[in-house]
Structure 1
Amino acid sequence: MMVKNTVRSASDLDPTVPGKLLRLFFHDCFVEGCDASVLLQGNGTERSDPANKSLGGFSVIDSAKRVLEIFCPETVSCADILALAARDAVEFVRPNDAHIFFLTFIFAGGPNIQIPTGRKDGRNSTAVNVRPNIIDTSFTLDEMAKIFSAKGLSMDDLVILSGAHTIGRSHCSSFNDRFKLDSNGNLTLIDSSLDRQYAAQLTKMCPVGASDDSVTVNNDPGTPLQFDNQYYKVLLEHKGLFQSDSALLNDARTRNRVLEFANNQDSFFERWGVSFLKLSSIGVKTGDEGEIRQSFIPIE
């Protein structure tokens, strides 16, 4: 409950927190397993790799850890906190864009999932392990499936867990190679699977030549603060933000799942719970394989 309350408070202050926590958890589990190795700081750690420079949510995990160390010291690992925080991130009530007389609230929408605890924190964190183990936004379906398979995850898991993109924001550099503007402002689609009108909107949000990494765009242009099945509906409109998103619709091996989840949110939620449990179990360390850290101990 302490983790849940910490995530809730942080999400109330910053509605981008849930997306950050989910992404942080993915990047942790896909490299060295779900062992909080992504939290460790220092030269040559996972966190120092350029692919992880845009990760966020660290302060939320740190806050939860500080509270837990007060009430139950040396008991709950950072790895468990990461898993619980990512699980909780999709459940919460946050302010809607209310224009009338009072503030209304909406559910982020995700299912309540029971996940086991007992993970230990890993002792190894190496930047060289990051790139071969995480999904790039330009990946083909085969490239994504190869990495997922290496983690014990199926093609179905790939489609389901990609639904995490229903929340969160991304930097322009992760998708602006899908289109370009010439000197006269004419739009050319480099990736023809992207809706032209949507691409035109993206060019306005990501000006040509912009190098400011603070510019971000909602992954889901429809309901960016709700964990729902809108992501799959967006894919059907050819408005998946990443090339890796569009790949799910354009391949016969995954298209039917996209259609199913776009038409049935309950099915997506049910399958999300199963796939998230599998994700949270990747490479878990127990016993003498790991430790319970008291904080983010820097590695020098």
Structure 2
Amino acid sequence: MGKYRKDSLLGFLILLIFDLATFNSSVAQLTFDFYAASCPSAEFIIRNTVQSASLNDPSIPGKLLRLVFHDCFVEGCDASILLKGNGTEGSDPANLSLGGFSVIDSVKRVLEIFCPGIVSCADIIAIAARDAVEMTGGPQVRIATGRRDGRFSAASNVRSNMADTTFSIDAMTKLFSSKGLSVNDLVTLSGAHTIGTAHCSTVRDRFKEDSRGRLTGIDPSLDKLYGEELMRECLAGGDLSSALVSNDPQTSLSFDNQYYKNLVVHKGLFQSDSALVEDERTKNMVEDFATSQERFFSSWVESFRKLTSIKVKTGDAGEVRRSCSSFNR
């Protein structure tokens, strides 16, 4: 009986080690300085292009950061969000407001001149988002590279894999857990809302609109004065589907911990933001990041690395596209 138990335990451990090795194999194949020999100027070219685009359009960093989330949460970090065509991820209504594509395309065109067929669009998205954060005052993050571009993109996969602005903590933790991300990652990565803008239609649930288009605040979790400010901005912008408001009304162009300070005083833009400071599982972390930008930045480095490693494709499990918007032929 003892020998049987030992053999069973040994077999279980072997299977467990095998499963863990299989699970981590794709991530393990990502390496730092992946392009050191094949395209040593790759990250320099990406950084310069992002910086130039951001100087011309300050909204670019927020768009690039949002883009990496929408890519990695659906099919993993494989640039499937960039593929154009009927029925692709980009055609889903949830992705129609995405931006930053021209920056990625510009980077790819330059890289195809200097290093044809070497640098994947998936790596470009991840590095560009990383650089966008740093350029707006955020922390430096060294991420491994070697991602391959996926060969599949379907709009039908988007809704079940993306968080909605009305999500509860339960819904968000369930979604993040399915991507290998923890509650800590959820709170940390929500800090991406410290830069960028959103359409007023995404906060429609926090207001009541009458037949004349007038808005009335109905969400008690939202600071009254902030709610009134949002209503004025949205109405001044015309159609709620096109009017824009800043994710962070205080420092919308700076990657800092102001987002968490806003949450503590009930000035979170989305219902999903407000939920973070109302739930005991996340409230303490929000308050901690609100008082310490250093702790937020430290946590961001680790969580961003995890985000950009979701279901990556490496080796033969993908391709390096010549054009980010279409498969290789």
Instruction: Give CA deviations for 1:70-124 in whole Å, capped at 9, x if unaligned.
Output: 11111100000000000000112xxxxxxxxxxxxxxx21111000000000000
The aligned residue for residue 194 of structure 1 is 222
- Looking at structure 1, the residues matched to 291 and 74 of structure 2 have their Cα atoms a distance apart, in angstroms, of 33
Q: Is the 8 A contact 1:181 1:208 kept in 2?
A: no
Q: Is the 8 A contact 2:200 2:242 kept in 1?
A: no
Residue correspondence of structure 1 range 14-29 to structure 2 within 5 A: 14-29=57-72
Amino acid at match of 2:111: L
Counterparts in 2 of 1:285 and 1:239: CA distance versus 1, 3 Å? same
Does residue 1:127 correspond to 2:155, yes or no?
A: yes
Residue correspondence of structure 1 range 241-256 to structure 2 within 5 A: 241-256=269-284
Q: After TM superposition, give the deviation of residue 186 of structure 1 in Å.
A: 8.3
Q: Is the 8 A contact 2:108 2:324 kept in 1?
A: no
Q: After TM superposition, give the deviation of residue 184 of structure 1 in Å.
A: 9.5
Does residue 1:57 correspond to 2:100, yes or no?
A: yes
Q: After TM superposition, give the deviation of residue 185 of structure 1 in Å.
A: 9.5
- Looking at structure 2, the residues matched to 126 and 39 of structure 1 have their Cα atoms a distance apart, in angstroms, of 11
Does residue 1:73 correspond to 2:101, yes or no?
A: no
- Looking at structure 2, the residues matched to 84 and 50 of structure 1 have their Cα atoms a distance apart, in angstroms, of 26
The aligned residue for residue 223 of structure 1 is 251
- Looking at structure 2, the residues matched to 258 and 208 of structure 1 have their Cα atoms a distance apart, in angstroms, of 32
Amino acid at match of 1:293: R
- Find the residue that maps to 1:170 and give its secondary structure: strand
Amino acid at match of 2:206: R
Residue correspondence of structure 1 range 152-167 to structure 2 within 5 A: 152-167=180-195
Q: Is the 8 A contact 1:187 1:200 kept in 2?
A: no
- Find the residue that maps to 1:90 and give its secondary structure: helix
- Looking at structure 1, the residues matched to 205 and 66 of structure 2 have their Cα atoms a distance apart, in angstroms, of 22
**Which among 61, 71, 74 is matched to residue 31 of structure 1?**
74
Q: TM-score, normalised by structure 1?
A: 0.91
Residue correspondence of structure 1 range 229-240 to structure 2 within 5 A: 229-240=257-268
- Looking at structure 2, the residues matched to 289 and 65 of structure 1 have their Cα atoms a distance apart, in angstroms, of 20
The aligned residue for residue 98 of structure 1 is none
Q: Compare 46-55 and 201-210 and name the one that shifted more.
A: 201-210
- Looking at structure 2, the residues matched to 138 and 90 of structure 1 have their Cα atoms a distance apart, in angstroms, of 25
- Looking at structure 1, the residues matched to 79 and 213 of structure 2 have their Cα atoms a distance apart, in angstroms, of 45
Q: TM-score, normalised by structure 2?
A: 0.83
The aligned residue for residue 203 of structure 1 is 231
Equivalenced residues, count: 284
> Where do 5+ consecutive residues of structure 1 fail to align?
93-107
Q: After TM superposition, give the deviation of residue 206 of structure 1 in Å.
A: 1.1
Larger Rg over CA atoms: 2
% same residue: 65
Counterparts in 2 of 1:208 and 1:70: CA distance versus 1, 3 Å? closer
Counterparts in 2 of 1:212 and 1:241: CA distance versus 1, 3 Å? closer
Does residue 1:282 correspond to 2:310, yes or no?
A: yes
Q: After TM superposition, give the deviation of residue 174 of structure 1 in Å.
A: 0.3
Q: After TM superposition, give the deviation of residue 176 of structure 1 in Å.
A: 2.1
Counterparts in 2 of 1:186 and 1:62: CA distance versus 1, 3 Å? closer
Amino acid at match of 1:220: D
The aligned residue for residue 165 of structure 2 is 137
- Looking at structure 2, the residues matched to 174 and 184 of structure 1 have their Cα atoms a distance apart, in angstroms, of 20
- Find the residue that maps to 1:289 and give its secondary structure: coil
> Where do 5+ consecutive residues of structure 2 fail to align?
1-43
Counterparts in 2 of 1:184 and 1:171: CA distance versus 1, 3 Å? closer
- Find the residue that maps to 1:175 and give its secondary structure: helix
Counterparts in 2 of 1:290 and 1:184: CA distance versus 1, 3 Å? closer
Larger fraction in helix:
2
The aligned residue for residue 99 of structure 1 is none
Q: Is the 8 A contact 2:234 2:240 kept in 1?
A: no
Q: After TM superposition, give the deviation of residue 191 of structure 1 in Å.
A: 1.6
Q: After TM superposition, give the deviation of residue 182 of structure 1 in Å.
A: 5.3
Counterparts in 2 of 1:226 and 1:208: CA distance versus 1, 3 Å? closer
Amino acid at match of 2:69: F
Amino acid at match of 1:165: H
Q: After TM superposition, give the deviation of residue 158 of structure 1 in Å.
A: 0.2
- Looking at structure 2, the residues matched to 120 and 173 of structure 1 have their Cα atoms a distance apart, in angstroms, of 35
- Find the residue that maps to 1:207 and give its secondary structure: helix
